[in-house]
Structure 1
Amino acid sequence: MKHSLLLLFFISGISTAFAQFEKGDRYVGGDFGFSINTSENSNPGRSTYLAINLSPNLGYFISDLSVLGINPQVNFYWNKNITSNNEKISSNTVSGGIGLFFRRYFPVVDNFYFFLEPKATYNSSFEEESKPRSFGLSLSPGASYKISPKWMVEAALGGLVYHKSYNSSGANQRYDDSRFAFDLITSNSIGIVYFINQKDQ
């Protein structure tokens, strides 16, 4: 992700300026996220967690630098645990949901912007038995570079994240988990945006 931001900086310094954002502009886009975490336990044991996220989005400029948008999501999670008896236990989950976001752009040089994005998301698993659900709030920094009048590339970092999950296995069994994290390394994404109604120059 650090290299992605540096690349956006480099390109922005050698390119031609395009039209800036305007109130009423609309865009469609999406990003692909990847996160992996491995931890060692004292038993001994080992746990590996992998998450893949596909997130299309639709944004509408309510001013020349502010966007409101929706963000459908599809997520894949895979987890493997190795116990102290060298027993391997693995599981995977596929879920979907919706996100609502606000984004504020901060111009740096022609075509290059930093942004901050507060976001709320809700996800539910497609599994029929346990019905795990989750709710999240996040504040993510990132950078965008306009490569043409209609196309823009983006790099987003994890930022501040609050996540609460619910898991019910039956009428009398329920498991809740909450976490708060500041993560700029293991959770990030790269995306591309297409402006629907901006005119080519």
Structure 2
Amino acid sequence: MKTRLTLLLLLFVTTVTIGQNKQDKFKISKGTWLLEGDFSINSSNFKITDNPTPNKADRFNFRISPKLGYAVNDNLVLGLGLEYSYSENQYENLYNQEDSSNTYSIAPYIKKFFPITSRFAFHLQGETAFSYSKTNNYDGAGNRVASNGTRSYGISLRPGINYSLSKGVLLEMNFGALSYSHSSQKNDENSSKYVTNNFGFNLSSSSLILGVSILL
């Protein structure tokens, strides 16, 4: 269903393109600043009720990610994204364990816009991301029993489309990515180390990301 919606959206953009004046095209002028931001907060819980042993979990997640870009040429933007996220899990079972993690990320990027109409544009965004995450595990008495640090980096190429809501507001939709990532996790207690490499190509509509940019 989501794939069909994406295809219909692309078909709509193509249809609108045919009826547009070729001289009237989407443009982000050189010298323009672009301010973006993502924010999310979520809490959830689950409980097993048909078990004599209590089993319940409460989860909380928080994420904020501001981005600032600058048009070094018409429709060509260089920028930098920062991100911080926090997550916490509490378990009510035989051990009453708890874990929490903090993640910090930085991601420089380059984005090229390809005009379709006066309001629509296709874009490709290439970025490199570096992040560090620290996870602590606690027992029922609040004592830390384990700690893991994870360092990772990755590169990706993301396609997307844009719609100009007004002169200073841009609606953006990214779908899928061609990406590679590498992560290294180390356990502080026993010095165990785990390394993961991942390569992926995904154009599925299940990975849609919506955002809004303010042009300054």
Q: Does 1:111 align with 2:119?
A: yes
Q: Distance in 2 between matches of 1:184 and 1:53?
A: 24
Q: Does 1:133 align with 2:141?
A: no
Q: Does 1:123 align with 2:131?
A: yes
Q: Distance in 2 between matches of 1:117 and 1:189?
A: 13
Q: Does 1:24 align with 2:31?
A: yes
Q: Distance in 1 between matches of 2:185 and 2:177?
A: 25
Within a 5 Å distance, the mapping from 1:83-98 to structure 2 comes to 93-98=101-106
Q: Distance in 1 between matches of 2:111 and 2:29?
A: 14
Provide the residue aligned with 1:100 in structure 2: 108
Q: Distance in 2 between matches of 1:62 and 1:125?
A: 33
Within a 5 Å distance, the mapping from 1:152-191 to structure 2 comes to 152-170=170-188, 172-185=191-204, 186-191=206-211
Q: Give, in angstroms, the shift of residue 174 of structure 1.
A: 1.0
Q: 1:53 to 1:18 in 2, by over 3 A?
A: farther
Tell me if the contact between 2:31 and 2:70 (Cα under 8 Å) persists in the aligned partners. Answer: yes
Structure 1 regions of 5+ residues with no counterpart?
A: 34-50, 80-89, 197-201
Q: 1:164 to 1:9 in 2, by over 3 A?
A: same
| Larger Rg, first or second structure (1 or 2) | 2
1:44-74 deviations in Å (ceiling 9; x for gaps): xxxxxxx986432111000001100001123
Q: Could you state the TM-score of these two structures normalised by the residue count of structure 2?
A: 0.65
Q: Distance in 2 between matches of 1:142 and 1:93?
A: 31
Higher relative contact order (CA 8 A, sep 6+): 1
Q: Distance in 1 between matches of 2:176 and 2:63?
A: 13
Q: Distance in 1 between matches of 2:125 and 2:33?
A: 17
Q: Does 1:193 align with 2:213?
A: yes
Q: Distance in 2 between matches of 1:192 and 1:124?
A: 26
Q: What SS does the corresponding residue of 1:24 show, helix, strand or coil?
A: coil
Tell me if the contact between 2:132 and 2:149 (Cα under 8 Å) persists in the aligned partners. Answer: yes
1:82-141 deviations in Å (ceiling 9; x for gaps): xxxxxxxx9774412110000000001111100001100011114362111211110000
Provide the residue aligned with 1:70 in structure 2: 80
Tell me if the contact between 2:26 and 2:120 (Cα under 8 Å) persists in the aligned partners. Answer: no
Structure 2 regions of 5+ residues with no counterpart?
A: 41-60, 90-97, 137-146
Q: Distance in 1 between matches of 2:173 and 2:123?
A: 10
The letter for the 2-side match of 1:23 is K
Q: Does 1:9 align with 2:13?
A: yes
The letter for the 2-side match of 1:97 is S
